[in-house]
Structure 1
Amino acid sequence: MPSRYLFRRLVILLAVFSFFILCFIHTNLHPITNKNIILYEGSIFTFLAFFFVIKGRAAPLILFLVLLSYFACLWLVRGHMNLQDFRNIIIILFFYYFGNSTKDTSVLRRVFKTATIVILIVGLLEYFLTDSYLKYINIRDFYMFRGGMSHLSDYLDQNVFTSAIRPDGRHIMPFLGNLRVSSIFLEPISMGNFTVILTIWGIIQCDDNIKKGLIPLVFAFIFLIGCDSRFALVMSGIIIAVRFVPILQNKIILMLLPIAVSITLMTQAYLFNIFKRSDDFQGRLTVSGQSLLDMNFLEMIGMSANRNLGDMGIAYSIEHYGIFLCIFLWGLFISIPTPNIQSKRMKAMVAFYIMGILAVSGTSVYSLKTSSILWFMVGSLTVHASSLQSESV
């Protein structure tokens, strides 16, 4: 691989490993505050902006300014600024164009390979040497120091994330114990999300070479067991169905997918007529649907964003970005050109994955840890998918 591509790999890996790096620094070197995280992520965004300037890529910079102007108007109307909303969209924008600017898929292939190996090694250390591992990676203190999980400080007897322990036991292979492995992601939700992304990558590889595709799929299965993610289990099945059912890859179907999912959620909430925060699948769907039913006009157009929406990703996106921006961005995504059948299938699988997260797992779709590699993959494969067949492992 040309040495100039090493910097691109490094940027993606720094994004994927971001919280792991920061948690290690927090535990062993210096306390990490929210300002430090903003500085870390801002440095990555600044590098990407300079990259686009050097490469003469005007589109991401123009969209950056347009989006900044749009959010500035929203902030003016709301009476307060929320950079988190703007940051979430910039992750998608910058990493898509970063992948789009790469001449072949060798960077993506090596990023997945490196990330998978590191995730496996760290995950094994976390599971088999838990106490020793948590001495150097104090996850609970890392989040609590920045104001998160403080209400659960007495509940957790280990230095792990809130959802890393299932009091009632694991759902997948219960004999493995109550710990849900998070590896470099620090919390099992993102680990489950990466598992689905890795599954998509493996399926794409299988279209070219079954042996190459089986390797990431095997690792995805291992990660699924480790993090005990019900979402990843269900979503992986849906992803496989999308791959083998051509109608689900149709552009019109994909364009209407958010509407179909939203109607399904609202119907679920209306039929059960409850608002409960149970942690089962049905309960989450009901809560997500109820948040849409309760939305008023100002919230729908993004002029009011005061509700605590938690895991209700569709309502969160509409309320924080406005329905018109959501429609615009989804339309841009669906209209991305797909040079061959591989990229077409990939885009369809990513579309279902995104809507699955928004329906059940809230704002984790905007997490830098997983969103960076997802959108880099989309950018790389929708433009350079044909190079998959010419690349060696």
Structure 2
Amino acid sequence: MAAEAASAASRADPAEAANAPAHAPRLRRFALATLWLALLFNIALAWVNAHAIAINGSVVTAVQGLVMALALAAGLLRRRGGWRRWTVLLIAACLAWLLLSVVRQSLELKFLGDAVLIPAFALLGTCLGRRELVRWLLAAQLLISLIAAWELAVPKSFAATFNVTAYYVNTRGIEAETFWSGEGEGLFLNVERPSGRNLFASSGLNRATSVFLEPVSLGNWTIVVLIVLVTLWGRIGWATRATLVLSDLFLVVACDGRFALVCAFGILLGVPFGRWGPRLWPLVYLPVLVATLFALRAAELLPRGGDTFAGRLRKGVDYLGRLEVADVFGGQSSANIYANADAGWAYLIQSQSLFGFLAFWLLVVLMARERTAELRAFVNATAIYVALCMPISYSFLSIKTVAPIFALYGCLIAVARRSIGPSGLMGLPIRTGAPRGQPPRVGPALAAFGGG
């Protein structure tokens, strides 16, 4: 079935193959290899740490920096539709980081990496077509499912192979005593909830982590797969659909994904409306969520503490409510910023300033000027995912999930740009030599919306 799924991964798209330069196939292979590296470098380093030499945090930072450099190189060498807007964003992010570093009087490479991740992988995505991305996603999903099944079936074998505990102690500075030391000793610290599993509680299984080494990222990965499905459903063959849907359900259960279930429900409800609603509708998701959570807190409907989803939301609201002027303008020290890392929006505001936080949200929603049905579905699904993740975690900035999501974003914009024609600095249509007095030529995708 997997072979059939791979062969039917996507319908042919002649526009994506037209006028491709001779070096394009090499760059596509290079881009796909970079995506694999972004997905697998942590588990590879964990194996090295367990069986060869000790790995420290500097090595992880260096490898992640290398992956981002490779992504940037691929996109800047290819320079396909939309690459200018991502390059402008990249330059602006670096300048903003330098300014905030002067304010803090310290250089924090982690914050630069957070800012550069998105344009880097969006540029990489401009090298790829939708077919290549779906095939890559299918292969990655099968590999992740296989490793998750191994981890659940024989946790001691998985722990002995990768020794996740030692990897996170060496690279993240987490105390070994905080890790679970039950039957699956050597796994991540929260593979067992204090109150047990929510899904199939009587099974006695730990929470799977697969190639991500920790369950939160595995849950987020299932949302990445869902975003691709709701965006490209009409372009994916039935066998690939069935494989991705069934394996995604398995992974949600495997990681006991509380957030994954809530977010999937929100996406499946929100995307059909957003596809036909106003183009700017996704902008309201985050402010409405913030207002709703503060209202629930004021009414004492969000409980304090406890390992529950509502408790995590309450903690995120409390973090946001405690921000001070220095936090809002990015003047806090890095130690204070990491103390609020459990709340994604507090972390993002403190590390990138309120202006960076707003720029990030506007980027997610407004970077796609092209009004295609695929981009509408993608923007709505991604905005729901980011908005729901912000109160409880900053994992939406993890390279493991940013890489495929924004590679797809860059790909979809590049495809839309080619159907419209040449573009200016920020992706706006430009004249293509039409005689004076006549309107510039635009592609059919733009003409369908009145040239807007």
TM over 0.5: yes
Residue 122 of structure 1 corresponds to 147
Measured in 2, the distance between the counterparts of 1:96 and 1:62 equals 12
Residue 168 of structure 2 corresponds to 143
Q: Paired residue for 2:398, among 358, 362, 367?
A: 367
Residue 345 of structure 2 corresponds to 314
More helix by share: 1
Q: Paired residue for 1:49, among 72, 83, 93?
A: 72
Measured in 1, the distance between the counterparts of 2:58 and 2:64 equals 10
* CA drift at 1:177: 1.7
Q: Paired residue for 2:300, among 261, 272, 275?
A: 272
Measured in 2, the distance between the counterparts of 1:94 and 1:14 equals 14
Measured in 1, the distance between the counterparts of 2:342 and 2:276 equals 26
- 1:106 matched to 2:131: yes
Deviations 1:131-176 (A, max 9, x none): 1221111001100112433063475341111111124321111233
Matched letter for residue 201 of structure 1 = V
Measured in 2, the distance between the counterparts of 1:142 and 1:127 equals 20
Q: Label 1:119 to 1:155 Cα distance change in 2 as closer, same or farther (>3 A).
A: closer
Q: Percent identity?
A: 20
* CA drift at 1:206: 2.8
Deviations 1:308-355 (A, max 9, x none): 113211111112111112222322332213442122111100110011
Measured in 2, the distance between the counterparts of 1:45 and 1:334 equals 23
Residue 221 of structure 2 corresponds to 194
Give structure 1 stretches of 5+ with no counterpart.
388-393
CA contact (8 A) 1:165 1:179 kept: yes
Q: Label 1:120 to 1:155 Cα distance change in 2 as closer, same or farther (>3 A).
A: closer
Residue 92 of structure 1 corresponds to 118
Measured in 2, the distance between the counterparts of 1:59 and 1:382 equals 10
Residue 170 of structure 1: SS of its match in structure 2?
coil
- Root-mean-square deviation (CA), in Å? 2.4
* CA drift at 1:22: 1.1
Q: TM-score when scaled to structure 1? A: 0.90
Matched letter for residue 136 of structure 1 = T
* CA drift at 1:275: 8.6
Residue 391 of structure 1 corresponds to none
Measured in 1, the distance between the counterparts of 2:214 and 2:103 equals 35
Deviations 1:157-199 (A, max 9, x none): 4111111112432111123324001110100000000011111
CA contact (8 A) 1:262 1:314 kept: no
Residue 390 of structure 1 corresponds to none
- More displaced 10-residue stretch of structure 1: 128-137 or 61-70: 61-70
Q: Paired residue for 1:323, among 354, 376, 387?
A: 354
* CA drift at 1:203: 2.5
Matched letter for residue 195 of structure 2 = D
Measured in 2, the distance between the counterparts of 1:330 and 1:260 equals 13
Measured in 1, the distance between the counterparts of 2:171 and 2:268 equals 39
* CA drift at 1:88: 0.9
Measured in 1, the distance between the counterparts of 2:52 and 2:120 equals 30
For these two proteins, the number of residue pairs brought into alignment is 385
Matched letter for residue 63 of structure 1 = L
* CA drift at 1:79: 2.2
- More displaced 10-residue stretch of structure 1: 137-146 or 164-173: 164-173
- More displaced 10-residue stretch of structure 1: 109-118 or 93-102: 93-102
- More displaced 10-residue stretch of structure 1: 249-258 or 373-382: 249-258
* CA drift at 1:130: 1.6
Q: Paired residue for 2:375, among 343, 348, 354?
A: 343
Q: Label 1:201 to 1:131 Cα distance change in 2 as closer, same or farther (>3 A).
A: same
Residue 50 of structure 2 corresponds to 27
Residue 146 of structure 1: SS of its match in structure 2?
helix
Q: Label 1:154 to 1:200 Cα distance change in 2 as closer, same or farther (>3 A).
A: closer
Give structure 2 stretches of 5+ with no counterpart.
1-16, 18-24, 419-452
Residue correspondence of structure 1 range 1-393 to structure 2 within 5 A: 2=25, 4-56=27-79, 57-102=83-128, 104-150=129-175, 152-153=177-178, 155-157=180-182, 158-208=185-235, 211=238, 212-246=240-274, 250-272=278-300, 276-305=304-333, 306-307=336-337, 308-335=339-366, 336-360=368-392, 362-384=393-415
CA contact (8 A) 2:302 2:310 kept: no
